[in-house]
Amino acid sequence: MSVPNSPYLSDSGFSEALTDDPRKCQIVGCYKRHAYARAPKGLKVYSDFCTKHTCGRVYPEQSQYYCIFPRVANSAYCSHHRTCGQEGCEEQGEPLTLDLSDFKPFYCRKHRCAVLGCQEPPKTGDRERRCELHAVRCRVQGCSRSAYTHDDGRVDHYCLLHYGTQRCLYRDCTRQTLGSSFSFCHVHNPPNGSNDQDKDSNPCSLRGCNKSAEPNAHACSIHLCSVRGCPKPTVIYAPSSSDPPNTIATPYPPLCSSHICLDCDKPRNSATINAEYCSAHECGLVACRSRALDKGGHCSRHACSVMGCLRAKQGALSSSFLTVDRERERCEVHARGGSGVEGIGSGRIRASSFGAVNAGTGGFVRRYGGSGADDEALRVRMQRNRFSDDLERLYRSER
């Protein structure tokens, strides 16, 4: 393997020197001349090996200049410099160094940054095992958790707990807000506090509205959240391309970002502390704030494993429900009467577009083909399950 930007200038031709001659490559059976490099001031610095066997690790500021160990076969480095940079770890791999003057040691999968494709060592003390570059913290004020990492390795702006709850409220906008105290992204953020406005007038925060905000509020009486005592503006409806020019956005529904369900325009469940969904879209288990897989049902952590069943699984109320047996992954009715999705407790199986499902599988679907919509539904459900599992691990790690 050739070494990129190799500093060794010798052509490593065959030498007539004896075996113990220092001018010859010290690898047994190799008869090429040892390599050399031009050090500062034009001096030649020799290696103990030829260019083929000299390790790619160089020391430009040291007298030896070259590595004293021979290169490993099919590698640019010796076994010493292929060893994981974590002290005490013996795993070996190829350092991803393009410039030999700036050598970066190899780190194994266990001791490198958890972000996909990153080869840097993790930041000291980082529980998420991320390097200095990727140790991004959640943007929500007061939150010190690490930002959430997506399946493709992309790092989000928010942690696992706040992921998906800080979206811009302009309809069809997928950008993140500027923080927990903002309702809009950097494009749609209302210009409160701008130099071109009179700060004493306290205008309505809705872009295009010239009315004054209510006392101790951020919006006028038309655009103020309908929840008593809430000072935030309502979720707004952005004008579409078919609307007349200069059409001002209108509030719909009369709820702010803190009181509107994340899945519909209904108010959040007031019976749940820090609720994020309405009673229909929230998990049916008391005190669980997660999104229900089906309207009126339960979330992926608490739902019966039989597809289409709205009941909670038997292990949902157990503190160790993630480790219980398969029977407890189903609700009481399906655990007693079968895993069918047509009659409750009938034990029969309905052939669906997802393919055949065998009784006694605990709701795990065996697919023998299906439509693209079915594939997408299954993919979304699997992604939700992964997200719920990650959230559960986060809760457990913070106990």
Q: Where are the domains of the chain?
A: 1-107, 112-165
Check residues 305 and 6 and name the one with the higher pLDDT.
Answer: 305
- The percentage of residues in the chain with a pLDDT greater than 90, rounded to a whole number, is 0
Whether pLDDT at 345 is above 50: no
**199 band by pLDDT with thresholds 50, 70 and 90:** very low
User: In the predicted model, what is the mean pLDDT of residues 61-77?
Assistant: 78
pTM (2 d.p.): 0.34
Q: Residue 252: pLDDT above 70?
A: no
pLDDT at 371: 45
Average confidence (pLDDT) over 43-61:
80
pLDDT for position 136: 72
pLDDT at position 361 is 33
- Residue carrying structure tokens 């503190």: 319
Q: Which two tokens stand for residue 5?
A: 């930007």
Q: Is the pLDDT of residue 358 over 80?
A: no
- State the amino acid at position 144 in one-letter form: S
pLDDT at 40: 67
Average pLDDT, the chain: 67
Reported as a pLDDT band with limits 50, 70 and 90, residue 176 is low
53-62, 104-113, 270-279, 348-357: range with highest mean pLDDT? 104-113
Of 226 and 4, which is predicted with more confidence? 226
* Higher pLDDT, residue 140 or 25: 25
Q: Residue 357: what pLDDT? A: 33
- pLDDT at residue 61, rounded to an integer: 56
User: Does residue 69 register a pLDDT over 70?
Assistant: yes
With a cut of 50, say whether residue 324 has pLDDT above it: no
Q: Quick one: pLDDT at residue 164?
A: 58
Q: Give the confidence band of 394 by pLDDT, cuts at 50, 70, 90.
A: low
**pLDDT the model gives residue 335:** 75
Distance, in Å, from the CA atom of 264 to the CA atom of 276, rounded to the nearest integer, reads 11
Q: Rounded to 5 degrees, what are φ and ψ at 55?
A: -65, 145
How many beta carbons lie within 10 A of that of residue 290, not counting itself? 21
Share of the chain above pLDDT 70, in %: 52
What pLDDT, on the 0 to 100 scale, is given for residue 270?
A: 74
> Looking at residue 317, what is its pLDDT?
54
The CA-based diameter of the chain, rounded to the nearest angstrom, is 97
Tell me what pLDDT residue 11 has: 46
